[in-house]
C-alpha cells in the first residue's frame, strides 16, 4: 500500500501540471494534430447493445444497425433510393421458368476479414453461401443449434418449407431449389438477416471446438472488421482494407452504447458522438437550431394504425368501420403525436413502396357523414367502445395513449363513448392475442421492401390464426389476391394484385391507417455520406469527416 501511495504521488505531479496545460489548451481551442485512426474515425452512438454478432439470429433493429451493413454482405442488396434489388455478392442471377430454381453467380475475389482470430486462406466461394443457409435449414448442421437454433426472420417467412436445397454447382455458382415459386424470395435474400458467413472460419472453429465464437467473434466480407466488444460500453471495428467494393472511408468505426436519450444528445452536442440514433421527436426543433448539428430524416417502411376487432359486433359491419374511420381527425394526430414528422397514411403500404396504389381516394375527415353512416348501420345514437393503446413508444407510434385521448374526443362528436385501455406491454400483447379488444392502436415495421411483408403478417387469415392479425380479419377475396401475387414473378402483374388488394382494404376498412412515421438521426454537420436506409440497418462505410 505504501508503494501505491508512492505511485499516486508521482502521478499527481504529472497530472497536476498537465491539467493546467490542458485547461490552457482548451481555452485557446488549440487542437493537437490527431493521428489518422482517430481523425478519420467515426463514432456512432447507438441506443443499446447488440444481442449477437450474427444477423441470422436476431430481429431487433438495434442489433441489425450495429452489425449487418458493417460486417457483412448479402447476395443481393436493395437500392436505398428506388427500393429495387441490385447485385451484392451475387453479380447476377437467373430464375428458371417455373420459378422454382435460382442460380446466383458470385463476385470473384471477395476477401473475408483478416482478424486476430482468423486468417482466411481463400476468397469467397459457393461453399460459404451453402454453409450460411444450411446452418439455418439443416437441423444436423454442426452450427444449427449454436445460439439456440432460432432464426426468427427465416421462420417468419417459412424458409425451411420454401427452400428445398442449396448447393454449389461451380466454385462461383450457387443453386437454390424451392418447393414452390415465391416472388418475395429474392427480397428476403436482400434483407439484413441474410448475411453471408465464412465456411472456412466455421471449419476452423469446429477443429478448435470453439463453436460459440461464430456468433461472438464474427468474420464476414463487409467494409469493417471486428476488433472488440465491451458489453454495454462499445463495439470497435476497423476498416477492412481488402474490401471488394470501394474501401470504407473511416479507418475506425466505434459504436458507443448510450441507452439514455438525454446522454446521447449531450454527447452529440459535445461532439463525443458523430452520429446519434433516434433523437427524440420532442427535441428535434432544439437540435435543428444548432449550427454544428444536422438532423436527417427518411420515411421508414412502417405503418401506425387503428385496427378494429372485425369479429366483434358492431365492428363486423363495414359501415360502422367506415364511420369510425371518417370521424378521426388525422391531421390533428399528426401534429400532436408525431409533431408533424410523419406522413398521413392512405394505405397500409408506404408511398415509397413500388406496389403503392396512388389512385386511392384519400379518406376525408367528415363527422357529419360518419354520423349518417352510423345511422344507416343502425346506431343513430352511437355506442360505447374501448380503444386499446399500447404502453410503449415505437417508431410508428411515439405516444399511443395521447393518440387515444385525441381520438376519444373525436369519437364523442359522433356520439360514440370511447374509453382508453392500456396494460403493461407483455400483458397487453397477450390479451391482444386473445382478441379481447374492441379496437387497438398499434403498428408494424417492415423487415424488407417487399409489399408482401405488409399484407401477409398483418391481415391474412393465417395471421388471424396465429394472432398477429390485430383486426382479427379473415377475408377470402383479400387472401386470394395476396396469395396470387406471391406465385408470379412478374412485377407488373404482382403490382396489379396489390393495387386491387389496397383498393379492397380501403373499402372494407378492417383498420384505419394513420401514419408512416419518419426515422430520424442527428449528426455532426462535419459528417458527410451517412444516409438512413429505409429498408434496414444503417450503412456507415461512406461516412467521412470534413475537418473545418
Task: List residues near other proteins by CB under 8 A.
Answer: 1, 8-9, 11-12, 14-16, 18-19, 22-23, 25-27, 32-35, 37-38, 41, 43, 227-228, 231, 233-234, 236, 252, 254, 256, 258, 260-263, 265-267, 269-272, 282-283, 286, 402, 405
Q: Does the bond joining 314 to the residue before it have cis omega, within 30 degrees of 0?
A: yes
Residue with smaller CB distance to other proteins, 38 or 358: 38
Buried b (16+ CB within 10 A) or exposed e, 171-193: ebbbbbebeebbbbbbbbbbbbb
Concatenating the DSSP letter of every residue in 21-68 gives HHHHHHHTTPPPPPPHHHHS-EEEEESS--S-S-GGG---HHHHHHHH
Least Cβ distance, residue 145 to other proteins (angstroms): 14
Q: How far is the CB of 436 from other proteins (least distance, A)?
A: 26
Identify the CA nearest to 223 among candidates 118, 69, 114, 110: 69
d(CA 515, CA 420): 20
Cell matching residue 66: 450495429
> For other proteins, which is the closer residue by CB, 289 or 364?
289
Q: Least CB distance from residue 424 to other proteins, whole Å?
A: 15
Contacts of 104 (CB under 8 A, 6+ apart): 75, 90, 92, 93, 129, 173, 174, 176
Quote the CA–CA distance of 54 and 196 in Å, as a whole number: 10
Which residue from 73, 58, 50 is spatially nearest to 240, judged by alpha carbons?
73
Q: In what order do the strands lie in the sheet with 101-106?
A: 90-95, 101-106, 173-178, 163-170
Q: How many residues in the chain?
A: 548
Residue at grid coordinates 486462406? 121
- Minimum distance between the CB of residue 36 and other proteins, rounded to whole angstroms? 9
- Tell the smallest beta-carbon distance from residue 38 to other proteins (Å): 5
Kindly state the smallest distance separating residue 409's Cβ from other proteins, in Å. 11
Whether 431 and 423 have beta carbons less than 8 Å apart is answered as: yes
CB of 142 to other proteins, least distance (A): 21
Count the neighbouring beta carbons within 10 Å of the beta carbon of residue 154.
Answer: 21
Cβ at position 400, least distance to other proteins in Å: 14
Supply the Cα-derived Rg of the chain in whole angstroms.
26
Pick 25 or 392: Cβ nearer other proteins: 25
Q: Which is nearer to other proteins, 169 or 228 (CB)?
A: 228
Select 129 or 276, whichever has its Cβ closest to other proteins.
276
272 or 386: CB nearest other proteins:
272
The residues that bridge with 354 in the sheet, in sequence order, are none
Looking at beta carbons only, is 408 or 483 nearer to other proteins?
Answer: 408
Q: Give Cα 89 distance to the centre of its chain.
A: 21
| Smaller CB separation from other proteins, 28 or 97 | 28
Q: Least Å distance between CB 410 and other proteins?
A: 15
Specify whether the CB–CB gap between 421 and 432 falls below 8 A: no
Is the Cβ of residue 162 or residue 254 nearer to other proteins in the bound state?
254
Cβ nearer to other proteins, comparing 25 with 368: 25
Closest distance to other proteins from the beta carbon of 57 (Å): 17
What 3-state class would DSSP assign to 258?
A: coil
| 180 versus 271: smaller Cβ distance to other proteins | 271
Q: Which is nearer to other proteins, 254 or 432 (CB)?
A: 254
Rounded to the nearest whole angstrom, what is the least distance from the CB of residue 284 to other proteins in the complex? Answer: 11
Query: What CA–CA distance (Å, rounded) separates 471 from 473?
Result: 5
Look-up: residue for cell 441470422? 56
Q: Are 175 and 103 in contact (CB under 8 A)?
A: yes
| Choice between 60 and 138, CB closer to other proteins | 60
Cα(312)–Cα(305) distance, integer angstroms: 18
Minimum gap (Å) between residue 536 Cβ and other proteins: 25
Sign of torsion over alpha carbons 168, 170, 171, 174: negative
> What phi and psi, each to the nearest 5 degrees, are found at residue 171?
-50, -35
CA distances from 354 to 5, 351, 530 (A): 69, 8, 24
| Helical H segments across 209-357, by residue range | 213-216, 261-269, 284-288, 318-327, 330-336
Amino acid at each position: 500500500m505504501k508503494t501505491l501511495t508512492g505511485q499516486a504521488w508521482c502521478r499527481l505531479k504529472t497530472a497536476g501540471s498537465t491539467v493546467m496545460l490542458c485547461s490552457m489548451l482548451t481555452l485557446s481551442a488549440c487542437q493537437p494534430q490527431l493521428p489518422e485512426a482517430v481523425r478519420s474515425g467515426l463514432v456512432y452512438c447507438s441506443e443499446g447493445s447488440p444481442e449477437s454478432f450474427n444477423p441470422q439470429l436476431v430481429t431487433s433493429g438495434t442489433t441489425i444497425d450495429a452489425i449487418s451493413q458493417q460486417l457483412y454482405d448479402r447476395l443481393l442488396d436493395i437500392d436505398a433510393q428506388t427500393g429495387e434489388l441490385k447485385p451484392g455478392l451475387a453479380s447476377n442471377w437467373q430464375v428458371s421458368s417455373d420459378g422454382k430454381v435460382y442460380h446466383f453467380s458470385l463476385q470473384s475475389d471477395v476477401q473475408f476479414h483478416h482478424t486476430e482470430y482468423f486468417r482466411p486462406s481463400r476468397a469467397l466461394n459457393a461453399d460459404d453461401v451453402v454453409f450460411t443457409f444450411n446452418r439455418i435449414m439443416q437441423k444436423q448442421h454442426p452450427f444449427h443449434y449454436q445460439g439456440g437454433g432460432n432464426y426468427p426472420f427465416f421462420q417468419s417467412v417459412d424458409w425451411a418449407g420454401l427452400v428445398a436445397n442449396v448447393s454449389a454447382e461451380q466454385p462461383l455458382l450457387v443453386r437454390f431449389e424451392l418447393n414452390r415459386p415465391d416472388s418475395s424470395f429474392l427480397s428476403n435474400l436482400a434483407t439484413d438477416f441474410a448475411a453471408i458467413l465464412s465456411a472456412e472460419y466455421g471449419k476452423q472453429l469446429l477443429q478448435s471446438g470453439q463453436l460459440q465464437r461464430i456468433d461472438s467473434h464474427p468474420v464476414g466480407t463487409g467494409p469493417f472488421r471486428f476488433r472488440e466488444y465491451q458489453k454495454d460500453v462499445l463495439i470497435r471495428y476497423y476498416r477492412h482494407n481488402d474490401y471488394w467494393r470501394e474501401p470504407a472511408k473511416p479507418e475506425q468505426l466505434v459504436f458507443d452504447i448510450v441507452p439514455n436519450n438525454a446522454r446521447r444528445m449531450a454527447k452529440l452536442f459535445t461532439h463525443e458522438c458523430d452520429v446519434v440514433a433516434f433523437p427524440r421527436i420532442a427535441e428535434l426543433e432544439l437540435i435543428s437550431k444548432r449550427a454544428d448539428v444536422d438532423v436527417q430524416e427518411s420515411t421508414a417502411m412502417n405503418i401506425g394504425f387503428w385496427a378494429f376487432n372485425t369479429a366483434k359486433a358492431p365492428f363486423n359491419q363495414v359501415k360502422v368501420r367506415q364511420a369510425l374511420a371518417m370521424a378521426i381527425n388525422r391531421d390533428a394526430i399528426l401534429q400532436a403525436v408525431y409533431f408533424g414528422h410523419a406522413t398521413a397514411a392512405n394505405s397500409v403500404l408506404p408511398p415509397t413502396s413500388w406496389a403503392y396504389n396512388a389512385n386511392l381516394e384519400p379518406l376525408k375527415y367528415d363527422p357529419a357523414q360518419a354520423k349518417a353512416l352510423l345511422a344507416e348501420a343502425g346506431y343513430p345514437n352511437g355506442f360505447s367502445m374501448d380503444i386499446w393503446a399500447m404502453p410503449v413508444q415505437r417508431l410508428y407510434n411515439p405516444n399511443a395513449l395521447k393518440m387515444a385521448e385525441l381520438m376519444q374526443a373525436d369519437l364523442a362528436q359522433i356520439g360514440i363513448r370511447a374509453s382508453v385501455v392500456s396494460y403493461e406491454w407483455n400483458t397487453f400483447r397477450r390479451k391482444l392475442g386473445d382478441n379481447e379488444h374492441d379496437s387497438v392502436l398499434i403498428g408494424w415495421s417492415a423487415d424488407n421492401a417487399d409489399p408482401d411483408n405488409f399484407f401477409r403478417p398483418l391481415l391474412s387469415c393465417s395471421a388471424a390464426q396465429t394472432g398477429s392479425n390485430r383486426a382479427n380479419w379473415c377475408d377470402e377475396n383479400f387472401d386470394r389476391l395476396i396469395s396470387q401475387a406471391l406465385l408470379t414473378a412478374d412485377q407488373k402483374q404482382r403490382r396489379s394484385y396489390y393495387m386491387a388488394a389496397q383498393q379492397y382494404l380501403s373499402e372494407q376498412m378492417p383498420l384505419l391507417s394513420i401514419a408512416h412515421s419518419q426515422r430520424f438521426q442527428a449528426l455532426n454537420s462535419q459528417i458527410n455520406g451517412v444516409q438512413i436506409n429505409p429498408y434496414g440497418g444503417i450503412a456507415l462505410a461512406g461516412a467521412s469527416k470534413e475537418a473545418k
